[in-house]
Amino acid sequence: MKLEEHLKKYFNYTTFRTGQKEVISSILEGNHTIAMLPTGTGKSLCYQLSGYLLKGQVIIISPLLSLMQDQTEQLMMNGEKRVIAFNSFLTPQERKQALSQLNTYKFIFLSPEMLKSDFILNRLRELQIALFVIDEAHCISQWGYDFRPDYLKLGDFRRKLGNPLTLALTATATPEVKEELISSLSLKNWNEYIYSVDRPNIVLAVEVIDSYHDKSDRLVELVQNLEGPGIVYFSSKKMAEKMTIHLKQNGIDRVMAYHGGMEQENRVLIQQQFLHDQLDVICATSAFGMGINKENIRYVIHFHMPLQLESYLQEIGRAGRDGMKSIALLLYSPGDEQLPFQLAEGELPSEAQLDFVYHLLEEKNNSINDLGELENELISLSGLTEVQWRVVADYLFGNTKEPMQQRYVQLKVFINERLQVKRKKINDMLIWTQAQLNGCRRKNILKYFKEDKTIEIDDCCDQCGIDLTVFYPKTKNHKTADNFFDWKKHLAKILLVSERG
Amino acid sequence: MIESSYHIKNKFPKKNRIILIMDMFVSVNLRLCDMMKNSYLSMIVLYCLHKINGERTIYSILHLLNGKKSSQTIQDAHIFNLTTFFSTFPLLKRAELDMHIDILNKQGFVSTNAEQSYCVTSVGLKQLEEYFKPNPIPANLNGWKFHNLTDLFWERLSLAIQVISHLKNRNSKYLPIQKSKEHHKWLKGYLYKCKLSKDELAEKLYDELVACLETMDGLDPSIFVKRVTGYQIIGLTEAQAADQFDMDEEAYHIQFLSILHYMLEKVGTKQGDFPLLSCMIEDKKRATPLTESSNRTFNLLQMGYRLEEIAQMRKLKKNTIEDHLVEIALNIPNFDISAFVNIDKQKEIKMAINSVSSKQLKYIRELVPDVDYFEIRLVLAKGGEKK
Ligand SMILES: [Zn+2]
């Protein structure tokens, strides 16, 4: 059977998107494969379809809980029940049960912390592993923004599994990151499929706006005029909520906020309403978008500057998946960069917090074996977030051969380095944003990823010159909620009417 | 150690700088603004204050609305005739309640009579009357009776409707609006047990829902139906629905709960007419609405153990077991308390209760000095709610 027929059979699609077929063929021919496919092109399909065509289990290492959640949901929505995700959401009971019947699953997702567990490793070794997938493979790079120390254990983990057939996936990575990946996995032979991060159908624009107040006015104007559906990204939950109210007060009905602080049931409803065109605009934090397969998003506006160009690309990449012209618009006011700097710092433990933890540990010198009990105390006393704590714990308790003092110094060095990396990324983002005089934005963003801009595009960016009215709808069809509601008819539509007649 | 940890806690407050910076961007505190115009919840709090009449602290209201399952809260709910509101706002925070009280106080609707205790003023009483006359608290609201079924019923029902709607449309690719694996497992068993074809199932469920909602008095079925999700129709969130009905979110919430309570009452009493709906909670209906601990005490009582023995067996204080007994007296209609208070004493206490206006135990006890508080509480519990 041809690959397209399998695609039709398993996913009901008729054609592959850029790169998918090449990557899948490479895997099926038994090659280790590195694939850099731009956001929005269906990376996960590469391992999903390959998995169905190979005998044995697919193991996927995925760095983000929300991402893992979305991917498992996607599979389940497609009717696949043999999916399990090992992460901190699993209760010990569920985990035990899942481990005892591991061979009944087809797709096994692991969060990076699980790479440390010998128990899981040993259970996995009993399986016939068809494919070992490293999702968001750029997390392996110490110079990347998303560096996950646990990813450094990947090479070792993979070796202990007997070097299974491997697929490394990422959306954005520079050549250096790729080299790091290859060396840490000690790959000798591999195929690589590198596609440009460029999405030519997305117009890039930055608007510099004097004040915060003008910015919220401008947002109203844009949302009123641009053809939807669209997403507006914010760096804070509160702002996403506040601007939702502001938009509503200005006559935009079908808008809702979406962020991680909302109740799960509401999150699902809002997301689904957007997918089913019951909403035109979502005011969201970066929690929104992963796993959203909405083809016709026409604009992505950033009300706040993201912390790095990689995230920016990922977020604007949600526009125009149908290949139609779409626009990415970043609203910048002088001083906006303060927030990203603060956010980046907040992600890491502060020096004072480190000192505090260290001294407390010194005091308790001998009881360090009993980490479990100490953990909660340390977290609550130092005020570290869970993410921050994991960094600290990894260094102070990960490698017990070296003396505490030395590990502590290493930790400080590490945190300092991370901070430098993050600051540099924000600066790169800022330079790109402010580059009024430096020419084409597309060229600049490609240069950042060590690519050359090769094709000329009609509506490229604000620097090359664009006409925003291209993105205004031809006909004004402002949808408003209908006032008349017949509950019985509505219920009948849900339960009695069938599309099959 | 405790002292030093307190010190350190202050040095590193959990909220870090970022949150403060973000707060700066948010110029108005929206919630406070909302509350200034007599929010529904403020009025509920005022109503509760009126009922408890300064005889409990304001936090007894918090526990009531949160649905705290302590004997004290359950007794208060009964004594002050507030069982309807039990567990209606499980997520209400202490600080939010304080804010409501503060607003009521500033408007002169309440005045403080003791620390953390307030009485409703005559202005407040008038306000209550004016506020609830045009939109009374729904008669179907019954927090105490259904508190442990309400959420479950909605979660199962909404999932069942969504899944059955998709089955009817032969579509298997969709995101379930309820994510709990337990609900999914339950639904699988439910669908199997129904033994109906996909089309029959959808039709029967439609018929039952219409039959149930159609006869509802004083509540608009749309309040419920707008929340329902099906094939290519996604239900509204609570906030969205409140918005569409141009209601205060809390007012909407109470109406929505009332509809669920109405449905639970109706399908519970007429199971034969609503086989599909009543089956949704069949496994969760408990014979008694007792808390688990009280239920254990009740079982031991029925086996003939004495109060002191139970306390010893369960390694609990005698006071705790007494609390359980009061809870049992409140909830088990034919529970006989004469083993704990003899008939003569019961008569004496009842007379005392009727001659004082307050429900505070100390005033009652002043009239019958030879009985103890436990005995008064038992008789109060048995007397039920004075209407
Ligand atoms: Zn350009």
Q: What digits encode the pLDDT tens for the residues B199-256?
A: 899 999 999 999 999 999 889 999 999 999 999 999 999 999 999 999 999 999 999 9
Q: Where are the domains of chain B?
A: 2-144, 150-284, 294-383
Asked if the Cβ–Cβ distance from A236 to B13 is below 8 Å, we say no
The domain A202-336+440-494 is placed in CATH, from the list 3.40.50.300, 3.30.390.50, 3.30.1600.10, 3.30.565.10, at 3.40.50.300
The predicted pLDDT at position A372 comes to 62
pTM for the structure as a whole: 0.81
Whose CA is closest to B90, among B70, B63, B71? B63
Contact A229, A253 (CB under 8 A): no
Q: Tens of pLDDT along A221-247?
A: 999 999 989 999 999 999 999 999 999
Q: Tens of pLDDT along A402-426?
A: 777 888 888 888 888 889 989 999 9
Substitution target from A271, A277, A494 for chain B, most B beta carbons within 10 A = A494
Asked if the Cβ–Cβ distance from B165 to A494 is below 8 Å, we say yes
pLDDT band at B45 (very low <50, low <70, confident <90, very high): very high
Q: Supply the mean pLDDT for chain A.
A: 87
Within 8 A of B204 by CB-CB distance, chain A residues are none
Average pLDDT over every residue of B298-324: 88
Ligand 1 centroid–CA A38 distance in Å is 19
Contact B100, B45 (CB under 8 A): yes
Partner-chain residue, chosen from B25, B174, B235, that has the shortest CB–CB distance to A269 = B235
pLDDT higher than threshold 80 for residue A116? yes
Token pair belonging to A285: 């934090």
Residue A162 neighbours by CB distance under 10 Å: 9
Within 8 A of B236 by CB-CB distance, chain A residues are 269
Contact B111, B171 (CB under 8 A): no
Asked if the Cβ–Cβ distance from A381 to B16 is below 8 Å, we say no
pLDDT higher than threshold 70 for residue A478? no
Contacts of A476 (CB under 8 A, 6+ apart): none
DSSP, collapsed to helix, strand or coil, labels residue A300 as strand
Q: What is the CATH number of domain B294-383?
A: 1.10.10
Instruction: Tell whether A213 is within 8 A of chain B (Cβ).
Output: no
Partner-chain residue, chosen from A212, A272, A343, that has the shortest CB–CB distance to B18 = A343
Average pLDDT over every residue of B309-318: 89
A374 versus B231: the higher-pLDDT residue is B231
Within 8 A of B17 by CB-CB distance, chain A residues are 342, 345-346
Token pair belonging to A18: 């850029």
Alpha carbon distance B229, B165 (integer Å)? 9
Residue A188 neighbours by CB distance under 10 Å: 8
Token pair belonging to B85: 């509101």
Residue spans of alpha helices (H) in A135-275: 154-160, 175-184, 212-225, 237-249, 264-275
Token pair belonging to B69: 């399952």
Q: Which residues pair with A170 in a beta bridge?
A: A36
Question: What is the phi/psi pair of residue A343, to 5°?
Answer: -60, -45
DSSP, collapsed to helix, strand or coil, labels residue A202 as strand
Helix (H) or strand (E) holding A166: strand A166-170
Contact B266, B278 (CB under 8 A): no
- What DSSP line would sit under B38-62, residue for residue? T-HHHHHHHHHHHHHTTSS-THHHH
Instruction: Tell whether A424 is within 8 A of chain B (Cβ).
Output: no
Q: Which chain A residue's Cα is nearest to B165?
A: A495
A90 versus A180: the higher-pLDDT residue is A180
Contact A255, A478 (CB under 8 A): no
The predicted pLDDT at position B10 comes to 34
The predicted pLDDT at position A40 comes to 65
The predicted pLDDT at position A499 comes to 66
Task: Establish whether domains A3-195 and A202-336+440-494 are of one fold.
Answer: yes
Alpha carbon distance B253, B247 (integer Å)? 9
The predicted pLDDT at position B13 comes to 35
The predicted pLDDT at position A373 comes to 65
The predicted pLDDT at position B288 comes to 63
Closest Cα in chain B, distance from residue A215 (Å): 12
Q: What is the CATH number of domain A3-195?
A: 3.40.50.300
Map tokens 């302590």 to a residue: B70
Asked if the Cβ–Cβ distance from A356 to B203 is below 8 Å, we say no
Helix (H) or strand (E) holding A167: strand A166-170
Interface of A with B in 246-285 (CB under 8 A): 256, 264-266, 268-273, 276, 278
End-to-end CA distance of chain B: 53
Contacts of A238 (CB under 8 A, 6+ apart): B22, B23, B25, B26
Asked if the Cβ–Cβ distance from B175 to A356 is below 8 Å, we say no
Substitution target from A495, A499, A500 for chain B, most B beta carbons within 10 A = A495
CB pairs under 8 A between A and B: 131
Q: What is the CATH number of domain B2-144?
A: 1.10.10
The predicted pLDDT at position A104 comes to 94
Alpha carbon distance B247, A218 (integer Å)? 30
Residue spans of alpha helices (H) in A383-403: 386-398
Partner-chain residue, chosen from B17, B199, B237, that has the shortest CB–CB distance to A270 = B237
**Beta strands, E only, A87-128:** 107-110
Ligand 1 centroid–CA A441 distance in Å is 5
Q: Where are the domains of chain A?
A: 3-195, 202-336+440-494, 344-425
